Amino acid sequence: MLRNAIVLLVALGSFQAAWALRVLEVVESSFEIPLSLASLPSGGVGDVSFKTCDKCNVQSRLFTPSTRFFLSGREVTAMAFLEAAADARKQESANPRSLLMIYVDKKTQNVNRAALMRPTR
């Protein structure tokens, strides 16, 4: 019994020593936008304009040469990304369902990553 009490005290002491406060800094903001509400640049670099809702004001952010592009979780080139977005718009003209996710650096307001998610069904 005494042995169990000592083990418990040692465990509690270790737990308290390991506990510490950590300040997390938010470095990115993100937007999940229907592809139909976004306007992509014609090349891999340029302004992407979007509305977060039908009645919201248009916002713009910049795709830079360091922006990374993803299609359904796979990294692709900027041109492959833009072609896939154009194809999705054509195929979904009557029923838009694809989503554009952009991750924006808080300091520079440039897009770090852009992802296109197309429904599988």
In tens, the pLDDT along 31-56 reads: 999 998 899 998 889 999 998 877 88
Can you read off the two tokens belonging to residue 56? Answer: 């919201």
Residue with tokens 């390991």: 18
**Angle of CA points 6, 7, 10, to nearest 5°:** 85
Q: Mean of the per-residue pLDDT values for the chain?
A: 85
Ranges of each domain in the chain: 23-117
- Residue closest to 99 by CA, chosen among 78, 120, 79: 120
pTM of the predicted model, to two decimals? 0.75
- Helix, strand and coil percent figures for the chain, each rounded to 5: 30, 35, 35
What is the Cα gyration radius of the chain?
Answer: 23
Residue with tokens 């009490």: 5
Phi, psi of 85 (to 5 degrees): -65, -40
